[in-house]
């Protein structure tokens, strides 16, 4: 297993939380450059486990360093929006709000924000399979995703065996050609 950096350990302690074994296992696998599938019950801390490796890596970057580091894929726009909102508090509490930018990119994203993201992408981009496919169809997709290090797929069981899952598989194959060093974390109940 591995340990959390002090900033993250202190954040957990301030809430009276204990880091769960599967969260540390995902972090250790990510540090070893492995892909991971985490199956845990609802409320088991899967989402936090999926984001911990990215948050820790990004916390060591220069403030505001641009480029998509992590793509989070959700089967639901509403879930992507909720996760973005849920990441705001920990980032603020750890003093990382100016270091790590988290944004959604779905069919509901205003045109102005989409244009800004094309020029200055967030470090963590939360999206759906359909919106990811649209991003990958752009002429500048190679440059946009060149710095990608991680793809987090939430509710993977909801996408398996569906047309949307097939679409996501094609997106993951395309991302693997653009950023072959990017690792995947699948989350499922």
| In the predicted structure, residue 62 carries a pLDDT above the cut 90 | no
- How many independent structural domains does the chain possess? 1
Contact by Cβ (8 Å): 160, 10: no
Give me the long-range contacts of 12-18 (CB less than 8 A, separation at least 24).
14/93
Per-residue DSSP letters for 110-151? -HHHHHHHHHS--SEEEE-HHHHHHHHTSTTHHHHTTT--EE
The span from the CA of 114 to the CA of 126, in Å, is: 13
Query: Which residues does residue 153 pair with via DSSP β-bridges, in sequence order?
Result: 73, 186
Does the pTM exceed 0.85? yes
Q: What is the pLDDT of residues 68-93, one digit of tens each?
A: 999 999 999 999 999 999 999 999 99
Residue 18 lies in a domain: yes
What phi, psi does 15 have (nearest 5°)? Answer: -95, -5
Q: State which residues form the domain around 53.
A: 6-188
What is the side-by-side strand order in the sheet with 183-188? 36-39, 183-188, 150-153, 70-73, 124-127, 102-105
| β-bridge pairing 183-188 and 36-39 | parallel
Residue 1 lies in a domain: no
Q: What does the buried/exposed string (b/e) look like for 79-118 if buried means 16 or more CB atoms within 10 Å of the residue's CB?
A: bbbebbeebeebbeebebbebbbbbbbbeebeeeeeeebe
The span from the CA of 121 to the CA of 102, in Å, is: 9
Q: What is the pLDDT of residues 117-128, one digit of tens each?
A: 999 999 999 999
Name the nearest CA neighbour of 128 among 157, 158, 156, 107: 107
Question: Tell me, what CATH number does 184's domain have?
Answer: 3.40.50.300
Q: What is the pLDDT of residues 40-60, one digit of tens each?
A: 998 889 999 999 999 999 998
């Amino acid at each position: 297993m591995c340990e959390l950096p002090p900033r993250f350990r202190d954040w957990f302690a301030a809430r009276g939380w204990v880091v769960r074994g599967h969260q540390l296992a995902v972090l250790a696998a990510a540090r070893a450059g492995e892909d991971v599938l985490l199956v845990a019950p609802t409320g088991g801390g899967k989402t936090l486990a999926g984001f911990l490796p990215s948050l820790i890596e990004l916390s060591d970057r220069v403030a505001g360093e641009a480029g998509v580091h992590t793509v989070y894929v959700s089967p639901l726009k509403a879930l992507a929006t909720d996760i973005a909102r849920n990441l705001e508090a920990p980032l603020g509490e750890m003093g990382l709000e100016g270091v790590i930018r988290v944004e959604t990119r779905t069919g509901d994203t205003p045109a102005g924000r989409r244009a800004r993201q094309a020029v200055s992408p967030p470090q963590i981009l939360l999206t759906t399979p359909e919106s990811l496919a649209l991003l990958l169809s752009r002429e500048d997709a190679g440059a946009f995703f060149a710095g990608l290090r991680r793809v987090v797929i939430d509710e993977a069981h909801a996408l398996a065996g569906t047309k949307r899952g097939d679409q996501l598989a094609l997106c993951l194959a395309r991302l693997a050609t653009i950023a072959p060093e990017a690792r995947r974390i699948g989350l499922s109940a």
